[in-house]
Amino acid sequence: MTTLPARRLGRTGIEVSQLGLGGYQFTGEFGVARDVARQAIRTALDGGITFFDTAPMYGAGESEELIGGVVGDRSDIHVSDKVGYFDRTVVRHLGDEAYLDESAIRRAAEHSLHVLRRDTFDALLIHEPEWPEWRIDPTTGEAPAVRALEAMRAEGICRGIGVGGQDAALNTRLIGTGRFDVVLSVMHYDLAVFDARDALLPTAERHDVGVILGTPLRQGLLARRHPDPEKAMVADAERPARARRALAKRLLAIYNLADELEMPLPELALRFLLSEPRVATVIPGARSVEDVRANLAAAQKGPLSPDVVARILG
């Protein structure tokens, strides 16, 4: 098995590969055959990936089941999972009441653990903590879900607890309460947008919170050159027109930099994020063995040179 450089996942103390694998896209929901998904997971393991991220909403549990079937209870492999999207879980009969029911949250988490075929989660995160259904106090972090996760951590059901979602400001406030060990940031740190550097990363560093970066290719915008980036924006479609134009201009500059360096755009995207020492692991998704191999090949080349990073950051 190949090895990849590892970093500590904050105060959990867990050493994880700097490149992980996100489990959102290799399910039937994206038309991926199960044998292809299993082979992609095996390829990740053979390539030195020791960190996998999943959630019960990913393929309505299929992602958890596929990872569990291949990885099992290996102690050298680490898995983060989530609670939330309860309409896709065993507590869906409770509706929105599940978000405020500590016993329901525990039931859903324990079912996920069973599907994963593991005894403990390495990290258990609140999925989309910005959802009002959670009723999380951003100043104190107080909420039924947080109490439920803290109890499970105390009992050893999970080694660390955290939050994972798209609201960087809220994630920053929550990890600033000192109650969380891990944060999964989505859409706020990549080649095009890196506002997480301003507050989230310093706050995580101050509280020794492990940082996971999701969607490093910005839902396809950084997977390849788009002739008209503004038309290709999926995650950023709701931005004001002026902001979309500014983002499109930046993307064109990034495309040109990749061409100048004669480097595939996805490689540039991953190696840029691997250059940030405050990030424990980056978790691109994959729908094929080829996707995983390409990500591994990029990671094995290591971080970008400081001068290239400086050019990207402007």
Residue 35 maps to a domain: yes
Residue 228 maps to a domain: no
Is the confidence at residue 236, as pLDDT, over 80? yes
In tens, the pLDDT along 149-174 reads 999 999 999 999 999 999 999 999 99
Smallest CA-to-CA distance from 88 within 110, 55, 66, 119 is with 55
Is the confidence at residue 100, as pLDDT, over 80? yes
Interval 192-196 mean pLDDT? 94
Q: What is the 3-state secondary structure (H, E, C) of 33-62?
A: CHHHHHHHHHHHHHCCCCEEECCCCHHHHH
Residue 297 confidence class, pLDDT cut points 50, 70, 90: very high
Q: How many domains does the chain have?
A: 1
Contact 66, 314 (CB under 8 A): no
Give pLDDT, residue 26.
97
Domain membership of residue 25 as a residue range: 6-220+264-309
Average pLDDT of the chain is 96
Give pLDDT, residue 230.
87
d(CA 152, CA 161): 9
CB proximity list for 276: less than 8 A, separation 6 or greater: 189, 197, 201
Residue 246 maps to a domain: no
Give pLDDT, residue 61.
97
Residue 231 maps to a domain: no
Interval 115-129 mean pLDDT? 98
Is the confidence at residue 237, as pLDDT, over 90? no
Is the confidence at residue 255, as pLDDT, over 80? yes
Give pLDDT, residue 155.
98
Residue 251 maps to a domain: no
Strand partners, 19: 282
In tens, the pLDDT along 197-219 reads 999 999 999 999 999 999 999 98
Residue 244 maps to a domain: no
Give pLDDT, residue 25.
96
Strands 123-127 and 78-83: parallel
Residue 231 confidence class, pLDDT cut points 50, 70, 90: confident
Strands 123-127 and 15-17: unpaired
Give pLDDT, residue 2.
83
Residue type, 102: E
Residue 145 maps to a domain: yes
Is the confidence at residue 308, as pLDDT, over 80? yes
In tens, the pLDDT along 37-76 reads 999 999 999 999 999 999 999 999 999 999 999 999 999 9
Smallest CA-to-CA distance from 208 within 4, 49, 14 is with 14
Residue 248 maps to a domain: no
Domain at 67, CATH number: 3.20.20.100
Is the confidence at residue 1, as pLDDT, over 80? no
Give pLDDT, residue 109.
98
